[in-house]
Structure 1
Amino acid sequence: MNQEITPTPSPATDPKTYTIIIYILMTLGLFTGVFGLVAVIMAYIKKEDFKGTVYYDHMVYLIKTFWAGLAAAIVGIILMIILIGWIIFIAAYIWFIYRITLGFINLLDGKPVSTTSWF
């Protein structure tokens, strides 16, 4: 009496759940950069697996958001010497929050995000 047991898919293997986890980690990255780094690594790892789905665009979007946000933050920190850095740093922070929020809303609605737009 051998019964075949079908494994139950784990939430971590579901593309939508995986993408939600990355968005959450990216949001936590606003407070501690380690979470953002983990999120971008996860996005790079799964990006090709999601090719041809709406989740692929989200992976590209998150990767682009991470690197552009990091670059803007570094420029802002360097330019704090001449006080203009605070403006750049705060603008980058707001831009990052906007991108994460927009992407997360589109994900929950099952929509893709623009991988070419900066806003």
Structure 2
Amino acid sequence: MPPRSTSPRGAEDITLLVYILQGLSFLFGITWFVAVIINYVKRDSVRGTWLDSHFKWQIRTFWFSLIWGVIGGFTYWVFLGYWILLIIPFWIAYRVVKGFIRLREGKPMYV
């Protein structure tokens, strides 16, 4: 793992902000989209640093939850979708908390 100092402090703050916005999306859904937009806009500034893995983690959390949400919506009437839609928020919460903890420890994410 590269030392923590290889990334600018501002990039760490942006990464933290995205985790906070993802967490707030349980209350205010729009922050989910704001978070992924920030990820894509700021992605070049973290490329090649240990924070790049956090950005990939955050972006994948967004897209996989969206894909599974659509699948859950289409299969809701078959009862399978009910379980998918029930599990997604817990999975998102796990990924946000796990990413936040590893960010605070200065560790990259495994992606």
Alignment equivalent of 1:87, drawn from 83, 87, 93 = 83
Matched, 1:60 2:83: no
Bigger proportion of residues as helix: 2
Q: Which runs of 4+ in 1 moved over 4 A?
A: none
Gaps of 5+ in 1: 1-12
CA–CA distance in structure 1, aligned partners of residues 79 and 27 of structure 2: 22
TM-score (structure 1 length as normaliser): 0.80
CA–CA distance in structure 2, aligned partners of residues 30 and 70 of structure 1: 14
Q: Which amino acid aligns with 1:78?
A: F
TM-score (structure 2 length as normaliser): 0.85
- 1:33-74 CA-to-partner distances (Å, cap 9, x unmatched) read 311110000001111111121111111110011000111111
1:29 alignment partner in structure 2: 25
Matched, 1:49 2:38: no
CA–CA distance in structure 1, aligned partners of residues 27 and 105 of structure 2: 26
RMSD of the TM alignment (CA)? 1.4
Q: Which amino acid aligns with 2:100?
A: F
Matched, 1:71 2:63: no
Q: Which amino acid aligns with 2:92?
A: F
Select the structure with the greater relative contact order (CA < 8 A; seq sep ≥ 6). Answer: 2
Total equivalences in the alignment? 103
Gaps of 5+ in 2: 1-8
Larger Rg: 1
Q: Percentage identity across aligned positions?
A: 32
